[in-house]
Amino acid sequence: MAADPAPDLQAHKAALRAEAHARRKAQPDKDELSRAICATFMALPEYAAASTVMFYVDARSEVRTRHSLQDALASGKRIVVPWCNAHQELELFHLEAMEELALGMYKILEPQPELRQVPAKVLQPEELDLVMVPGVAFDERLARMGHGFGYYDKLLHRLRPGVLRVALAFECQFFPEIPVQPHDIFMDAVVTESRVLRRS
């Protein structure tokens, strides 16, 4: 009987995550590069066509989005940000001002608790027209590796067919190949400081 490959796979993923985190942390000029990456995202034709767009709010060494959220809020689009509930699932919040955010789980900026269940602020994944996705590591196939909790995979499975899933990343986050499992979702595009990769 063949040995269970899962422990080897998990060890491989852990090593890739550690390497990706180290590379991303060491990336110089994060603010400047992040502004360029976000500007490219907001110049996509799909962004122009979208009415409701989900942004993530950056944490730690991720591509920084909070500086560009202000421009997005002024664009006339409905801007949505995710937050993590007690069941470790992402819920969606209609953001109208940066002041509606406060530090939450994992020291990530999230909607203030008293605003989260206001009916006008609650959205469902099926209402999104375009989704911005963070990630730890990627490959040229547009496979994505997150933190291993599956938050985004659960959310992305609920999108309407045809809704574009666009990850933001620094070039240093790319690897020759990311291991994938059946539940993993590939990105439709990845925007970096030097290119926009799209699935063929």
Three-state DSSP string of the chain: CCCCCHHHHHHHHHHHHHHHHHHHHHCCCHHHHHHHHHHHHHCCHHHHHCCEEECCCCCCCCCCCHHHHHHHHCCCCEEEEEEECCCCCEEEEEECCHHHEEECHHHCEEECHHHCCCHHHEECHHHCCEEEECCCEECCCCCEECCCCCHHHHHHCCCCCCCEEEEECCHHHECCCCCCCCCCCCCCEEECCCCEEECC
Confidence of residue 3 (pLDDT cuts 50, 70, 90): very low
What's the mean pLDDT when you consider all of the chain?
A: 93
Handedness of CA 145, 151, 152, 156 (dihedral sign): positive
Confidence of residue 125 (pLDDT cuts 50, 70, 90): very high
CA separation for the pair 185, 145 (Å, rounded): 9
Confidence of residue 120 (pLDDT cuts 50, 70, 90): very high
pLDDT at 157: 93
End-to-end CA distance of the chain: 39
Cβ contact 144:135 at 8 Å: yes
User: CB-hemisphere CA count at 13 Å for 95?
Assistant: 30
Tokens of 66: 């909070």
pLDDT at 5: 52
Cβ contact 123:52 at 8 Å: yes
Q: Give residue for tokens 């008293």.
A: 114
Residues 128-179 pLDDT 10s: 999 999 999 999 999 999 987 788 999 999 999 999 999 999 999 999 999 9
Q: Which residue has the higher pLDDT, 181 or 67?
A: 67
pTM: 0.93
Going edge to edge, which strands form the sheet with 189-191? 122-123, 90-95, 78-84, 52-54, 130-133, 164-168, 189-191, 196-198
Number of Cβ within 10 Å of residue 177's Cβ equals 10
